[in-house]
Amino acid sequence: MTDRQKSEAVAAAVLLAFGAVFLAQTSDFPSFPGDPGGPALLPVITATCVIFLSIYILARLFVRRAAAGPGSPTAAAGQPSRVTERAGLLVLLLIYPALVVWLGFATGTTAYCAASFWTMTQRSATALLYGVVVAALLFVMFRILFEVSLPLGYVDALFLG
């Protein structure tokens, strides 16, 4: 197991523990009449997503390890270095607020998610597909389920406004 895989496994285990504790803490939240989710709805959704993400990361590591077999290289050729990934993600995080202001939440989040997937792992058209799916899920969750007003930029105003 490479150092990167070890660090991913440790991070996934820590996230799994954090998600479990976070989910357990939400059981103490009060419920209000007329509010089906109550104040615990967003923390429960967040904790559940963190737990599933952690399980996915661990499962992916074990599947890769089993498929690689003994003595075979596990790092794929052409993968970006960790420094490049982190620098790219930092740049994306810094420009994301501007993307949301200029493009709007839906378009800016799609661009951000697609670029993040491209930077981290998927160097193909599937990164765009993942970006669209994640942005659509976030849009539905915040706009429709939570009824939060999301910023409309110039591009979103053309299509959603």
Report d(CA 31, CA 52) in Å as an integer.
25
Q: Are 109 and 154 in a shared domain?
A: yes
Contact 58, 12 (CB under 8 A): yes
Q: Are 102 and 70 in a shared domain?
A: no
* Token pair recorded at residue 40: 């615990």
Task: Give the least confident one: 25-34, 45-54, 111-120, 136-145.
Answer: 25-34
Q: Are 70 and 104 in a shared domain?
A: no
Q: Are 105 and 161 in a shared domain?
A: yes
More confident residue, 60 or 160: 60
**Band of the pLDDT at 125, cuts 50, 70, 90?**
confident
Averaged pLDDT of the chain: 79
Q: Are 20 and 52 in a shared domain?
A: yes
| 59-95 per-position pLDDT tens digit | 888 887 777 665 555 445 555 566 677 777 788 888 8
- What is each CA distance from 75 to 2, 59, 72, in whole angstroms? 8, 17, 9
Residue 122 has pLDDT above 70, yes or no: no
The pLDDT score that the predictor gives to residue 3 is: 80
Q: Are 38 and 84 in a shared domain?
A: no
Contact 120, 85 (CB under 8 A): yes
Task: Give the least confident one: 1-10, 30-39, 100-109.
Answer: 30-39
Q: Are 84 and 70 in a shared domain?
A: no
Residue 37 has pLDDT above 70, yes or no: no
Host H or E run for residue 83: helix 82-103
Q: Are 70 and 88 in a shared domain?
A: no
Domain end point (choices 15, 47, 75): 75
Closest CA to 111 of 132, 82, 136, 89: 132
71 Cβ contact partners less than 8 Å away, ≥ 6 residues apart:
none
The pLDDT score that the predictor gives to residue 144 is: 86
Q: Which domain holds residue 109?
A: 80-161
Q: Are 105 and 160 in a shared domain?
A: yes
pTM (predicted TM-score): 0.53
Residue 26 has pLDDT above 50, yes or no: yes
Q: Are 121 and 96 in a shared domain?
A: yes
Q: Are 86 and 143 in a shared domain?
A: yes
Domains held by the chain: number: 2
Report d(CA 79, CA 119) in Å as an integer.
10
**Band of the pLDDT at 161, cuts 50, 70, 90?**
low
Domain end point (choices 75, 104, 120): 75
Q: Are 137 and 161 in a shared domain?
A: yes
Task: Give the least confident one: 34-48, 86-100, 115-129, 140-154.
Answer: 34-48
